[in-house]
Structure 1
């Protein structure tokens, strides 16, 4: 019997939460090596990432590597005025943080720290699972699908790259019409690319 999207989410989230802190730390430390010669980063000046939550691949070593390269980093924030939309706020080592309604750390909203999504060069997206065709399964809120829709429909806006543990790759995922497939997903050991 084919698993539902909900069952897949539960199963994969349980697997990634089962990784011990030492495994999480080691895997996240390997991530910047995947980006050293990545062609999309050669021109990038503004990138959006996320802070790990619920067993997601930790992005802090990657964020620190971007800072060392002079690349400005931004984090997603729930838009208080547009339900279901994301804002992207500049993130640095001294950014004041607060927890959103999902318990995820995000920068405090301050004037002049936001960037329009279409002005980002790359958006690194979290995901629950991905398959060998580039389909992405998120948490179910549709935040990233809405944000990435212009790229998917017109190839305009920021280039999306998924970040995940290797264990989050599945042979095939059930998809919906609103799902935005990714052109690539990067894990600590591999770069998966699709055209």
Structure 2
């Protein structure tokens, strides 16, 4: 059980950090996106990955398009996917393959996502790396998301110790948080459902954790 005090603390922090990243100028956002591409292109766990899930920029997040575009140009064997709100399992995500030719639609949050197509679904357990947007983070690898719990529910299988999930867990994706440097805090109030990260990347540095 998470106390009301912790939940209120998370809500206040989430509001402050979202406002801070939205306040970044267009020039600052463009520079952050270019620097992020450099950081990600030098990350070895991404270099080894074939299937990479990312996201399309929203609400002041770091834009991944320069990184994705550079990979499309220089590493065409790497496949990308984007999250889609699950049409059946409320509060969960699906990942659909994403290319230059993917038709995009806007979901209920006004975020672009691939038009739903069953043949384009990439099972979550087959993602080698998932690049996740963060609202806040600390240097211990704790993350604060938007509050909807979509990633935590979708990725809960990576935390199970059930024998029936042994194969899935052995193939679980590496989870990489993406954030602006201004989104770092000294310590985050955490909740038991928070899924830990393998790495956090900002435009200026990369933090790797024990399981990365």
Instruction: Give the structure-2-normalised TM-score.
Output: 0.87
**Aligned partners of 1:73 and 1:92 also within 8 Å:** yes
- What is the match of residue 84 of structure 1? 91
- What is the match of residue 155 of structure 2? 148
Q: Which aligned runs of 4 or more in structure 1 are off by greater than 3 angstroms? A: 152-156
Say which SS state the counterpart of residue 155 (structure 2) adopts: helix
Q: 1:29-178 alignment to 2 at 5 Å? A: 29-68=34-73, 69-70=75-76, 71-153=78-160, 155-156=169-170, 157-178=172-193
Greater alpha carbon shift after TM alignment, 154-163 vs 128-137: 154-163
Say which SS state the counterpart of residue 170 (structure 1) adopts: coil
Give the structure with the larger helix fraction. 2
Deviations 1:57-114 (A, max 9, x none): 0111111122221211000000111101111011111211111011110010123111
Aligned equivalent of 2:9, options 4, 10, 18? 4
| CA–CA separation in structure 2 for the residues paired with 1:110 and 1:163 | 27
Greater alpha carbon shift after TM alignment, 69-78 vs 1-10: 1-10
Say which SS state the counterpart of residue 147 (structure 2) adopts: coil
Query: Which structure's CA Rg is the greater one?
Result: 2
| CA–CA separation in structure 1 for the residues paired with 2:42 and 2:29 | 23
| CA–CA separation in structure 2 for the residues paired with 1:159 and 1:152 | 12
Say which SS state the counterpart of residue 115 (structure 1) adopts: coil
| CA–CA separation in structure 1 for the residues paired with 2:121 and 2:146 | 24
Deviations 1:4-23 (A, max 9, x none): 10100100000000001111
Greater alpha carbon shift after TM alignment, 14-23 vs 150-159: 150-159
**Aligned partners of 1:151 and 1:159 also within 8 Å:** no
| CA–CA separation in structure 2 for the residues paired with 1:129 and 1:77 | 22
Count of residue pairs the alignment pairs up: 195
| CA–CA separation in structure 2 for the residues paired with 1:21 and 1:152 | 38
| Alignment gaps of 5+ in structure 1 | none
- What is the match of residue 166 of structure 2? none
Cα-Cα RMSD: 1.6
Say which SS state the counterpart of residue 75 (structure 1) adopts: strand
| CA–CA separation in structure 1 for the residues paired with 2:47 and 2:207 | 19
| Alignment gaps of 5+ in structure 2 | 162-168
